[in-house]
Chain A
Amino acid sequence: MTTAFSLRAAAPATAPCAGVRSTSAARVVPVSAAPAGRGRMVARAAVAAKADAPSSAVAGKSDGHEVLLFEALREALIEEMKLDPTVCVFGEDVGHYGGSYKVTKGLADMFGDLRVLDTPIAENSFTGMGVGAGMKGLRPVVEGMNMGFLLLAYNQISNNCGMLHYTSGGQFKIPVVIRGPGGVGRQLGAEHSQRLESYFQSIPGLQMVACSTPYNAKGLMKAAIRSENPVVLFEHVLLYNLKEKIPDEEYVLCLEEAEMVRPGVHVTILTYSRMRYHVMQAAKTLVNKGYDPEVIDIRSLKPFDLHTIGNSIKKTHRVLIVEECMRTGGIGASLRSAIIDNFWDYLDAPIMCLSSQDVPTPYAATLEDATVVQPAQIVAAVEQICQ
């Protein structure tokens, strides 16, 4: 059986995932139907695009198939649950109802009610149960119907999920995936428009990733499930119906790697999740105005892929961060510090960070639009940086 190499050429030599398993250049290796259980590999290195090629999902052997983002997540779940009998799903309405965003549609029929568990509305305790089950050898995928609801489970996520590996001196691992949609939607109101990445980022022991396309959603979901660490996978309410062609072959992405969306030379724009699309929209305008922005979807919110980011900064010398979380204590704030600490000498201009306003998300449409970063602001920011 030939191993179909992916989709992208090798990434630069010291790819962030080098430490995991492969010391060779990053590539996607389709995992054959390996026997379920301990012997399987963890996520392999990845899919960083070649520097001068835009990221596009499919260049594989076959044509691929078109999916919506929620279907991509679903495919990932089904594949992992078939491969490994210890993978199970907990959440509200994930079973019989099929999931409030249809991510788990049909799974209960395929795998049964115990593996796709409909929980009562008790986030604190079913997250705690997920952690306990993880300690005892299962690999639960815990769904928060909306990420914001997981604030109720903050203690379990922070103290138990994040810390038990450390406080037990390495005895227990917690291979859970905590996922759910967050972000500002369409007038969902303040409490249903939360961005928890800024709250969770300081929890030691957690890894955080944000998906933004069907391709990376599937790959990151699989990687998160296979990871031995607890991973929080941030999805976005408005991105579930994005359509894209993804490979037919199996692929797994690297959790710690960023994605090159659009190579360029004038400025490095770092973004993630929904803001990627605002940035790309702004990029169209910018190109028309003669700019050549490099857009990177950072994907890995904790830890940052400073390798990819750094290479970009060394090329462009200017950075703009565009994020959806609040300005105060957000991902952008940490990213900015990290860049200053590591790449100060390469900067020709102060780092700009565009974030949402430090306000509860209002209901009114115009106000809600003003809360998040819009493409026009991005264009203006790039023009300012590139002066």
Chain B
Amino acid sequence: MIELASVSKVFLGKRTVTALENVDLSISRGEMVSIVGPSGSGKSTLLNLIGGLDTASSGEIEIDGRRLSGLSDDELTRLRRDKIGFIFQFFNLLPTLTCQENVSIPLHLRGWPKKKIEERANELLNLVGLSPRREHLPDELSGGERQRCAIARALSVYPPVLLADEPTGNLDTHTGAEILALIRDLHERLGSTVLIVTHDIHVAESCARLVALRDGRIEEDRAGRLKYGVPGVPIHDPAETH
């Protein structure tokens, strides 16, 4: 589903930063992968490259059999809007639009007919449990609700890949757990491939696969060591992970 072959990303500027260096990574359809690593290790850069928000300095990225290199800006956007849903740490909802309107944006941008958009938006809001808040503006929602809304927006066309960059980073522990449970639930029900960047080691370990980055390289790529029953609550002693 997602193939990276010796991908590097170098930021040229006053001082040159190598954010990713020769990363090889292969993720199959339907996997749920957590990405961990210290701040500045290149997690966001990795996600941005996979999501086509940025382009690699060298190496090859393939999403669902399509190479990203050489695509024009608009081709990249088309690929993104068909295959990828983004969930951001800071939600990135548009403040002047209601919950439902925010969810509808990607559908409008695709030029869907009104009626279909409305049906889909309702379906999505149901899915994330936000139906009662449909007419509210982002300002009137709690952090958790905002992230649910953002998730609904990311899911709008049920993309095969969901990319979440610290989706709980701006939420309290309890709400964060709820959001993770939701993502996990969606992953299972919809069968999407999920990449999630997190600092929460419990969350990371409870994913089937864990990729650890350090200084732009993959330090570790292994199975998660935790099973989960109740959302966000580990079954085994966390100490085991060390």
Q: Tell me, yes or no, whether A binds B.
A: no
Interface residues of A (CB under 8 A from B): none
